[in-house]
C-alpha cells in the first residue's frame, strides 16, 4: 500500500541514466533490486564545478556508502506498526474486558434510578471484597505491558538505526543543526542519508567476451518522502520514549511507595478522610489498588466516592456488604463472576 502511494505521488521509484547500450528497464530493475551508492568523500564539494551532485564523483580509491534500504521501507514501516500494536493486543487479551464487565450498568451514566444504582454499586463492592488479593496477575499484566511499551520504542530506535546504516540516532539533531547554520555554509544531512541522486554499476560481457562496466546515475524519487518520514519518526520516537519512560518510573513508584497510592486515591476520592484512605491502602495489595484506580476512571465521580466510602466502612468493620437478592439481581443485570465476567444464571 505504501509503495502504491509512493508510485502515485512520484511515479517510477528509480530512474537511471545510461549511454543506451543497456535497455532502460533492465538497468532500472537491476539497480532497484541490488543497491546504489554514493561517495562520502564527495559530499561537500561544489555542485556544478567539482561534482554533479552531492556524493557523486570519481569513485576510485574512495570509500563507498551503499544504499539498499529504499526497497524495504514500506515493509519495515509495516513491521514497526505491528510491533507497536503487540503490547496493546497483549493487554486487551489479558484484560479480557474485565473492567467493562465490572462497571457495566454504571459506566457512562450520570443519572439513573436510585434503586438500580444502589444495586449495581452493591454488586461491585461485593465483587471487590470477595476478590481481595486475587488481582496480582491482572496488575502484573498491566505493568508488564507498560514495560513492553518502553522496550518496544527503544528497540525500534536501534532497529531503524541499523536499517539506515547507523545514521538514525543523530539524524534529528543533525537536521536541527542544519536549520540553524548559515545559508552559504551548510549541508543538508537528509540528502546525505537519503540521496536523491546516486550511482549504480552494471557489469556484463561484451561481444568479444571481455567484461564491460557501465556506470549510471540513478534518481531515487522515493527519498523525497523517505527523508520526511524518518525525521518525523525520529521526533516521534523521542517523544514516545520519554512518555513511556516517565510512565514506567511512575508505575515503579506506585508499586514501591504506598503513600503514592494514597495520593492517587485521595485525588479521585475528594470527600474522603485521610485516615480512611490510609487504612484502605493498607488492606489492599497492588492488584486491588489497580482495580480500584481503574474504577475511578470508568465511573462517575459521585458514584465512585460513595463506593469507596462504603468499602472503607466494610473493611473497617470486617464485614461483607449487603447485596440484592438473587431474583433482584437476575431482573436487573446478569451476575458477575470472580473474574469480572458475566455468567449465565
Domain end point (choices 224, 240, 272): 224
Is residue 36 within 8 Å of residue 200, measured between CB atoms? yes
Q: pLDDT tens-digit profile of 23-56?
A: 888 888 888 888 888 887 667 676 665 666 776 7
Is 239 within a domain?
Answer: no
| CA–CA gap between residue 134 and residue 146 (Å, rounded) | 21
| CA–CA gap between residue 30 and residue 16 (Å, rounded) | 10
- Does 256 lie in the same domain as 220? no
- Does 169 lie in the same domain as 65? yes
Is residue 334 within 8 Å of residue 342, measured between CB atoms? yes
| Model confidence band, residue 133 (pLDDT cutoffs 50, 70, 90) | confident
Is 47 within a domain?
Answer: yes
Is residue 103 within 8 Å of residue 65, measured between CB atoms? no
- How many domains is the chain partitioned into structurally? 2
- Does 16 lie in the same domain as 59? yes
Mean pLDDT of the chain: 79
State the residue range of the domain holding 39. 2-71+165-224
- Does 169 lie in the same domain as 66? yes
- Does 9 lie in the same domain as 126? no
Is residue 55 within 8 Å of residue 39, measured between CB atoms? yes
pTM of this structure = 0.76
| CA–CA gap between residue 288 and residue 252 (Å, rounded) | 16
Q: pLDDT tens-digit profile of 81-104?
A: 999 999 999 999 998 888 888 888
- Does 114 lie in the same domain as 62? no
Alpha helices in 18-97 (DSSP H): 24-33, 73-95
- Does 261 lie in the same domain as 197? no
- Does 322 lie in the same domain as 256? yes
pLDDT higher than 50, residue 218: yes
Place of cell 476520592: 269
- Does 54 lie in the same domain as 95? no
Is 242 within a domain?
Answer: no
| Model confidence band, residue 315 (pLDDT cutoffs 50, 70, 90) | confident
Amino acid at each position: 500500500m505504501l509503495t502504491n502511494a509512493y508510485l502515485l505521488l512520484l511515479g517510477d521509484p528509480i530512474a537511471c541514466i545510461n549511454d543506451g547500450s543497456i535497455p532502460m528497464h533492465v538497468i532500472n530493475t537491476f539497480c532497484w533490486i541490488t543497491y546504489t551508492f554514493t561517495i562520502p568523500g564527495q559530499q561537500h564539494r561544489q555542485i556544478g564545478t567539482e561534482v554533479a551532485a552531492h556524493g557523486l564523483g570519481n569513485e576510485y580509491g574512495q570509500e563507498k556508502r551503499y544504499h539498499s534500504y529504499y526497497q524495504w521501507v514500506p515493509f519495515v514501516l509495516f513491521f514497526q506498526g505491528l510491533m507497536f500494536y503487540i503490547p496493546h493486543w497483549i493487554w486487551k487479551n489479558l484484560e479480557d474486558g474485565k473492567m467493562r464487565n465490572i462497571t457495566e450498568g454504571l459506566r457512562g451514566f450520570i443519572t439513573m434510578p436510585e434503586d438500580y444504582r444502589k444495586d449495581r454499586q452493591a454488586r461491585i463492592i461485593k465483587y471487590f471484597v470477595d476478590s481481595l488479593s486475587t488481582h496480582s496477575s491482572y496488575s502484573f499484566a498491566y505493568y508488564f505491558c507498560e514495560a513492553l511499551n518502553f522496550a518496544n520504542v527503544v528497540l525500534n530506535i536501534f532497529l531503524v538505526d541499523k536499517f539506515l546504516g547507523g545514521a538514525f540516532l543523530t539524524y534529528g539533531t543533525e537536521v536541527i543543526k542544519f536549520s540553524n547554520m548559515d545559508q552559504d555554509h551548510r549541508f543538508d544531512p537528509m540528502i546525505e542519508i537519503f540521496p536523491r541522486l546516486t550511482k549504480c554499476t552494471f557489469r556484463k560481457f561484451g561481444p568479444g567476451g571481455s567484461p564491460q562496466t557501465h556506470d549510471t546515475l540513478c534518481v531515487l524519487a522515493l527519498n523525497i518522502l523517505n527523508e520526511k518520514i524518518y525525521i518525523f519518526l525520529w521526533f516521534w520516537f523521542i517523544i514516545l520514549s520519554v512518555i513511556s519512560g516517565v510512565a514506567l518510573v511512575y508505575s515503579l513508584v506506585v508499586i514501591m511507595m504506598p503513600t503514592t497510592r494514597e495520593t492517587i486515591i485521595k485525588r479521585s476520592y475528594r470527600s474522603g478522610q485521610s485516615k480512611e484512605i490510609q487504612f484502605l491502602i493498607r488492606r489492599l495489595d497492588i492488584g486491588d489498588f489497580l482495580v480500584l484506580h481503574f474504577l475511578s476512571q470508568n465511573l462517575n465521580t459521585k458514584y465512585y466516592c460513595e463506593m469507596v466510602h462504603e468499602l472503607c466502612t466494610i473493611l473497617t468493620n470486617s464485614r461483607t456488604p449487603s447485596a440484592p437478592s438473587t431474583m433482584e439481581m437476575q431482573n436487573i443485570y446478569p451476575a458477575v463472576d470472580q473474574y469480572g465476567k458475566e455468567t449465565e444464571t
